[in-house]
Structure 1
Amino acid sequence: MAISLSKKKTRESKKVELKDDYCLFHSILCKLLYRIPTAILLFMLIFIWSSSTTIISGSFVHVCVSSRKLSNLYCLSAGTQPSFEVPIPIINNSISTDTSTRFNGDMKEIVDVVPVIKNSINGSRSDRHEEIANAVKVVEEQLQVHRSWTGSSSSSRGGCDGRGIFVYDLPPKFNKDLVGECGDMIPWVDFCKYFKNEAMGEPIQKLGKGWYQTHQYSLEPIFHSRVLKHPCRVYNENEAKLFYVPFYGGLDILRWHFKNVSNDVKDTLGLDLVKWLESKPSWGQNSGKDHVFVLGKISWDFRRNINSSWGTSFLQLDQMQNPLKLLIERQPWHINDIGIPHPTHFHPHSDDDIISWQLKIIRSNRKNLVSFAGGARPGAPENIRSVLIKQCTSRDDGYCKFLDCNSGGCNKSESIIELFMDSEFCLQPPGDSPTRKSVFDSLLSGCIPVLFDPFTVYYQYPWHLPEDHGRYSVFIDQEEVRKMRVNVVERLMKVSVRERENMRRYIVYELLPGLVYGDSSSELEKFQDAFSISMNNLLDRVSRME
């Protein structure tokens, strides 16, 4: 089994991104093993020799160190130590699927995966490749199951008969009170501005109607406000097919990131919620299988391991295995984790708002062939980001534009959107976790995303992005880039103008409407946005659970 590893984080300033050397486990097509710094390798060996816990099984040594992302204003408390854990495979198929497939193999930490082959014992290269191929097969099978839950166009446009949604009226400590803590959520940032306009944030006048300063972790209140106005909402539990639990678990986690509190304190609210739900007959009638949670942070933040102090253990609770969980980043080995788009800055009110934006970006004059908005990883010259920045900035022909987020270049959302509107291709390497909000910003801007790891998108969003990834993105193996075998800019120069135009038309006219979240009173008739797609699929799924 593969293992996960990330480096110890350090604090550089109050406004600096997490600086860790990132590598993600990915498909057999992507080469996995890269050079491990001597100091880290030595530390691993010392741990192996000194630990009383067995961490060797099969053909691999398992060492797991968690890596997390918060935002571009991220730092980790001094003194935080990496945590080691042996990933223990478990059966996770709490909701019966429409097929007979059984899924197993829970990788609790998969942010960095570095399999250490025991060549001196009995390991082999073919064994490693087979292990990776089997893991990827499980992920792909799960995505096929998720796609099988999607409703037909007729059912998604149908009425509400037998498709009632019941919204729990939770005590305010589980949602509204968390929003009320916005001023103290992160010590150096006033989060309250992000919760204005029903969590869409303050308007961005420069970009026009429907544009807001939306924070990437605002999904929970945004989704909640939409569900409250859903036409299929019912007020009698007996009339409901789907039960929505408006718990702002991501905000609960966010408020503890920079406070020195115990794990018990961090877990308190989630445990209280479970106790509250267990007192409701509606929770017990289907063991929670017809319940859904929308969580606005990555799955890893809710799956704290026993040796870590990061995040909560909310999704590790036994009671949370049956419900469906919609997250901005799913855990690939959990069938009930479903990825849905990060909230972007565009929240249209009407079909005309979407059409106007489509026309604007399809006509945009794209003067840059390639652009990258992001930050380097200091002290990690072989990190994919560092290599991409070097490839981009070393050119003097104007083909590549770099926006340095470490120096404040990304502080204004409109700067990023305008850069992407001016670019044919947008580089989207993984960061502190596989996914990036920037991928959706680039799609929203008509910029073709260039991906370096399949977990960034391909294994995440089966309801909102097609299985044919070549229609909307370009994939380049990050190991090939790290080892200087591929120059990304030169590779992209070989993509013909016709190919670019075909991909862009598909992105703009086919994908874009389904990647944005309309405002709470949106009146979309021609299009389904990300919220509508998610709710229709959830309703179709629970309707077939009889």
Structure 2
Amino acid sequence: MPIEQLRASMSKYSPPLFGKSKLSNSAATPLTRKPTTKPCNIQQSLFSSSKMAVADLSKKNSKIPKRLEPKEPSFFDSILTKLLYRVPLALLLLILVFLWSSSTTIISGNILHVCVSSRKLNNLYCLSAGTQPNLKIPIPVINNSFINHQYSNLDIKQTYAVLPENSKNDIPNHETPVTIVSENDQMHAVLFENPVDRIVEKGITKYMNEEVANAVKVVEEQLQLHRSWVSNSKQATCNGRGIYVYELPPRFNKGLTAQCGDMIPWIDDFCKYLSNEALGEPIPELGKGWYRTHQYSLEPIFHSRVLKHPCRVYNENEAKLFYVPYYGGLDILRWHFKNVSNDVKDSLALDLVKWLESRTPWPRNSGKDHVFVLGKISWDFRRFDNSSSWGTRLLELNQMQNPIKLLIERQPWHVNDIGIPHPTHFHPQSDNDVVDWQLKIIRSNRKNLVSFAGAARPGAPDNIRSTLIKQCTNSVECQLLNCSSGGCDEPESIIELFMESEFCLQPPGDSPTRKSVFDSLVSGCIPVLFDPFTAYYQYPWHLPQDHEKYSVFIDKEEVREVNVNVVEKLMEVPAMVREDMRRYIVYELLPGLVYGDPNSELEKFQDAFTITVNNLLERVSRL
């Protein structure tokens, strides 16, 4: 194909734009709900996705310009010509070198790729054209799938060959076009298998790694900001910083708890978990202060405590902090397992926003001094569009961007999302309750080196649980409690297992975080984490930045590739190190990870609620 025709055909198309990476925007990056870990595998949230545009290249009909009549050179033309002749040859060479170094031309089979890098935009732009007329070209475009699930609007005019992962025998020849397949909400580009295209793949991988580094940097900067709000006060210090609790219409909270009967289909009576001010029924076998608390009970638990806080005021003009007792998690649960429209799911949240906008305090600081406590993970409130039926779009509303949202799992790139601990089964009423439990677990006979309470995820092939279960069952040092057979329905079984174990494996489940992480810490069992988003990037007010003090980290990619045996790795940790970590967990962390009884009178210790409220007051005092 003559080069003129190639240029003409390429001129019809603009480069496939990557767009500005939203991972680098620390203000507001709308993430859609990862349905299952991802909630997806959260590590996937760091990687860029691929879009596919199909370019149907055809010859371009270009008009032949009329031949211009030769003209005598003017005086200006003569001067310009003389000046150009005086440009040093070295400068021209430098320009040519710059253009060559900032672009890459690759011929892959029947496809020509011309890629130009842009330092200013930190992106790579590529033009692709066929070396034959009417050749259809798939163009993978790097973008962030976890932020934007709006894939290409172009029609896919050809079905491309799908390559099995890690399959060398099934790789097509160099003329086979790329394909893009979707798995667990992440788009994967299967690149050509020849030396030149490996270079392309390495370039994309480098770009993705840079995006990962930028994303992690944003998350760490936000966590540092959150830590800067930590109060130095050990007790509630009001000093004119009053807390105003909105008296919402019952449909936003108490009316939701009244619908508890059939919220979760596999639980006969969810209402029993909301008894005792949402602590649930007592567990006398574990001792004083232990209850059958459900993991989604945070909203009413927090509400009960705020109502009795010493800084509560009843005049909104005396308040610095405005607490909105909306049970958004229960609002999701009541519809989640029912066949209703997204409009129905969103209706109460929209009503709430309208109600708040009609109140005087809301516009004063554009909602920045308002706080919501939500008892489910952030992704459940971030339905990006109506193509999904998961959750609500509460946290995608413009009015909800400024308020502080306290969640059991935060969205890592939203600075106003702050993670606070999952509610555990332990709710001490006094300092003595805390001390008695600390002594009990520090003296516990830990006969298991490792334990795992959980179940496999057969529908999620990237999940490492199956590998961990296999390694655990093959070792006498590891004890497995299989939750797939109902073994985890009773809190006593889990807590007793953790009390008898040195290390507790905590892989991601349906989302990166696990309530089990806090159950293990409260039991004095050292959590073994495989994803930094499980805890390290979640709870800056309740867990220290130095995660080696209380946990062991093993990269899940190492486990997935079977490059490490987790049990054998943990056997290498000296007994003295384990003891030091346990003492730090029990005496330094434990009191701040539990939510005290609604009538608790803790003086020596700060529980999770007290730490949270003190830091909230510190935050709003700086507005």
The counterpart of 1:133, out of the listed 194, 199, 213, is: 213
Q: Which residue does the alignment assign to 1:146?
A: 226
TM-score (normalised: structure 1): 0.82
- Report whether the alignment pairs 1:531 with 2:549: no
- Report whether the alignment pairs 1:518 with 2:610: no
The counterpart of 2:449, out of the listed 369, 372, 381, is: 369
Say if 1:175 and 1:65 are closer, same or farther in 2 by CA, change over 3 A: same
TM-score (normalised: structure 2): 0.72
Q: Which residue does the alignment assign to 1:403?
A: 481
The counterpart of 2:553, out of the listed 464, 475, 497, is: 475
**2:145/2:187 contact within 8 Å kept:** no
Shift of 1:118: 7.0
Q: Which residue does the alignment assign to 2:242?
A: 164
The counterpart of 1:340, out of the listed 420, 436, 440, is: 420
Say if 1:362 and 1:48 are closer, same or farther in 2 by CA, change over 3 A: farther
The counterpart of 2:374, out of the listed 290, 295, 299, is: 295
Q: Which residue does the alignment assign to 2:285?
A: 206
Distance 1:166 1:245 in 2: 9
Distance 2:253 2:241 in 1: 25
The counterpart of 2:341, out of the listed 255, 262, 265, is: 262
Say if 1:220 and 1:27 are closer, same or farther in 2 by CA, change over 3 A: closer
Q: Which amino acid aligns with 2:43?
A: F
Distance 1:258 1:534 in 2: 32
Aligned ranges 1:178-193 → 2 under 5 Å: 178-189=256-267, 190-193=269-272
Q: Which amino acid aligns with 2:442?
A: I
- Report whether the alignment pairs 1:85 with 2:165: no
Say if 1:251 and 1:318 are closer, same or farther in 2 by CA, change over 3 A: same
The counterpart of 1:23, out of the listed 18, 26, 41, is: 41
**1:194/1:215 contact within 8 Å kept:** yes
Q: Indicate the SS of the match to 2:323.
A: strand
Q: Which residue does the alignment assign to 1:221?
A: 300
Q: Which residue does the alignment assign to 1:13?
A: none
- How many residue pairs are counted as aligned between the two chains? 476
The counterpart of 2:571, out of the listed 493, 507, 513, is: 493
Shift of 1:117: 8.2
Rg larger for: 2
Q: Which amino acid aligns with 1:276?
A: W
Q: Which residue does the alignment assign to 1:508?
A: 586
Q: Which residue does the alignment assign to 1:71?
A: none
The counterpart of 2:533, out of the listed 455, 460, 479, is: 455
Say if 1:5 and 1:341 are closer, same or farther in 2 by CA, change over 3 A: closer
Q: Indicate the SS of the match to 1:256.
A: helix
Q: Indicate the SS of the match to 2:335.
A: coil
- Report whether the alignment pairs 1:325 with 2:405: yes
Q: Which amino acid aligns with 1:23?
A: N
Q: Indicate the SS of the match to 1:124.
A: helix
- Report whether the alignment pairs 1:233 with 2:233: no
The counterpart of 2:501, out of the listed 418, 423, 427, is: 423
Q: Indicate the SS of the match to 2:615.
A: helix
Q: Indicate the SS of the match to 2:350.
A: helix
State which drifts further: 180-189 or 249-258. 180-189
**2:595/2:608 contact within 8 Å kept:** yes
The counterpart of 2:516, out of the listed 421, 435, 438, is: 438
Distance 2:191 2:403 in 1: 39
**2:32/2:383 contact within 8 Å kept:** no
Say if 1:57 and 1:194 are closer, same or farther in 2 by CA, change over 3 A: farther
**1:150/1:463 contact within 8 Å kept:** yes
Say if 1:337 and 1:2 are closer, same or farther in 2 by CA, change over 3 A: closer
Say if 1:279 and 1:382 are closer, same or farther in 2 by CA, change over 3 A: closer
Aligned ranges 1:49-64 → 2 under 5 Å: 60-62=141-143, 64=145
State the Cα RMSD in Å. 2.9
Distance 2:622 2:22 in 1: 35
Distance 2:338 2:517 in 1: 31
Say if 1:26 and 1:443 are closer, same or farther in 2 by CA, change over 3 A: farther
Say if 1:49 and 1:297 are closer, same or farther in 2 by CA, change over 3 A: farther
**1:140/1:459 contact within 8 Å kept:** yes
Q: Which residue does the alignment assign to 2:116?
A: none
State which drifts further: 376-385 or 313-322. 376-385
Aligned ranges 1:243-254 → 2 under 5 Å: 243-254=322-333
C-alpha deviations, 1:452-471, integer Å up to 9, x for none?
00000000000000000000
- Larger strand proportion of the pair: 2
**1:449/1:472 contact within 8 Å kept:** yes
Q: Which residue does the alignment assign to 1:195?
A: 274
Shift of 1:186: 2.3
Uncovered stretches (5+) of structure 1, i.e. residues with no partner: 10-17, 34-40, 51-55, 67-82, 88-109
Shift of 1:312: 0.3
C-alpha deviations, 1:208-228, integer Å up to 9, x for none?
110000000000000000000
Shift of 1:358: 0.3
Say if 1:544 and 1:414 are closer, same or farther in 2 by CA, change over 3 A: same
Say if 1:111 and 1:414 are closer, same or farther in 2 by CA, change over 3 A: farther
Shift of 1:501: 0.2
Say if 1:438 and 1:324 are closer, same or farther in 2 by CA, change over 3 A: same
Say if 1:118 and 1:534 are closer, same or farther in 2 by CA, change over 3 A: farther
Shift of 1:187: 3.1
Say if 1:479 and 1:112 are closer, same or farther in 2 by CA, change over 3 A: farther
**1:368/1:400 contact within 8 Å kept:** yes
Say if 1:258 and 1:27 are closer, same or farther in 2 by CA, change over 3 A: closer
Q: Indicate the SS of the match to 2:304.
A: helix
Shift of 1:124: 3.1
C-alpha deviations, 1:356-404, integer Å up to 9, x for none?
0000000000000000000012255653000000001022xx2000100
Shift of 1:127: 1.6
Distance 2:557 2:364 in 1: 49
- Report whether the alignment pairs 1:272 with 2:337: no
Distance 2:306 2:573 in 1: 42
Shift of 1:23: 2.6
C-alpha deviations, 1:323-362, integer Å up to 9, x for none?
0000000000100000000000000000000000000000
C-alpha deviations, 1:179-231, integer Å up to 9, x for none?
00001212342110100000000011110110000000000000000000000
Say if 1:24 and 1:57 are closer, same or farther in 2 by CA, change over 3 A: farther
C-alpha deviations, 1:284-324, integer Å up to 9, x for none?
11111100000000000000021211000000011000100
State which drifts further: 337-346 or 188-197. 188-197
Say if 1:176 and 1:375 are closer, same or farther in 2 by CA, change over 3 A: same
Say if 1:112 and 1:392 are closer, same or farther in 2 by CA, change over 3 A: farther
**1:5/1:111 contact within 8 Å kept:** no
